[in-house]
């Protein structure tokens, strides 16, 4: 058994002891104080373990997310206050062939699979490469993005559309991107996480 697993079992032991003691027993207060202290220690251990998991996840992501396009300014992915909230893929729907964002992806395709990484303070839009890495296409601070459901789809074959508005991207420009989710629940989750 690992030390962390032992620590988490100690409150269970003291809770069992406490339930068998009468409130007027001489050891009751000591056991009650010990249980409260152990619960606090377990909570702190869990928080530190969560921080380490987040740091490890960010370390892996920093190796996968590449700023390979010349026009996209490089940004450090790892930060002490940043961790991944949600990631997932969505389909980019090009409703206007003159959109600058579409030119960054591919002029000939109307649809492209994008991978979005939503961090605590940042949204990073990427395209997955054949080697498993992600090439950054655009990014913005989380405060500079808005998502809204689009009910009337253009073209009508698309379902579960979202309008992603980046109020200020890395170039200090406003960008609107139409994204398509695979399911209604996927769209609902994306809209809730972004708000």
Q: Which residues pair with 175 in a beta bridge?
A: 166
Q: What is the mean pLDDT of the chain?
A: 85
pTM over 0.85: no
* pLDDT value for 156: 58
Angle among Cα 38, 47, 145 to the nearest 5 degrees reads 150
Q: How does strand 175-180 pair with strand 161-166?
A: antiparallel
Mean pLDDT within 146-163: 76
Rounded to 10°, the helix 3-20/28-64 angle is 150
| Residue appearing with tokens 């009337």 | 152
Confidence of residue 11 (pLDDT cuts 50, 70, 90): very high
Identify the three-state secondary structure at position 80: coil
* pLDDT value for 118: 94
d(CA 176, CA 144): 12
* pLDDT value for 143: 93
Confidence of residue 151 (pLDDT cuts 50, 70, 90): confident
d(CA 195, CA 186): 14
* pLDDT value for 61: 94
Could you read off the pLDDT of 174-186 as tens digits, one per residue?
Answer: 999 888 888 888 8
Could you read off the pLDDT of 102-144 as tens digits, one per residue?
Answer: 444 444 445 688 999 999 999 999 999 999 999 999 999 999 9
d(CA 94, CA 167): 19
| Residue appearing with tokens 């698309």 | 158
* pLDDT value for 157: 63
Could you read off the pLDDT of 47-98 as tens digits, one per residue?
Answer: 998 999 999 999 999 999 999 888 888 888 898 889 999 999 998 887 665 4
Q: Cβ distance 89 to 113 under 8 Å?
A: yes
């Amino acid at each position: 058994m690992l030390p962390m697993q032992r620590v988490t079992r100690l409150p269970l032991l003291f809770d069992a002891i406490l339930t068998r003691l009468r409130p007027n027993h001489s050891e009751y207060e000591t056991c009650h104080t010990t249980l409260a202290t152990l619960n606090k220690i377990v909570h702190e251990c869990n928080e530190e373990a969560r921080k380490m998991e987040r740091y490890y996840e960010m370390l892996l992501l920093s190796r996968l997310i590449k700023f390979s396009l010349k026009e996209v300014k490089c940004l450090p992915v790892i930060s002490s206050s940043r961790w991944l909230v949600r990631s997932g893929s969505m389909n980019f729907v090009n409703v206007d062939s003159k959109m600058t964002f579409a030119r960054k992806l591919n002029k000939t395709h109307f649809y492209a699979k994008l991978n979005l990484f939503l961090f605590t303070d940042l949204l990073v839009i990427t395209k997955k490469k054949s080697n498993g890495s992600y090439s950054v296409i655009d990014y913005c601070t989380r405060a500079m993005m808005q998502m809204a459901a689009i009910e009337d789809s253009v073209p009508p074959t698309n379902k579960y559309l979202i309008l992603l508005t980046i109020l200020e991207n890395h170039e200090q420009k406003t960008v609107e991107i139409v994204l398509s989710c695979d399911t209604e629940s996927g769209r609902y989750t994306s809209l809730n996480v972004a708000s």
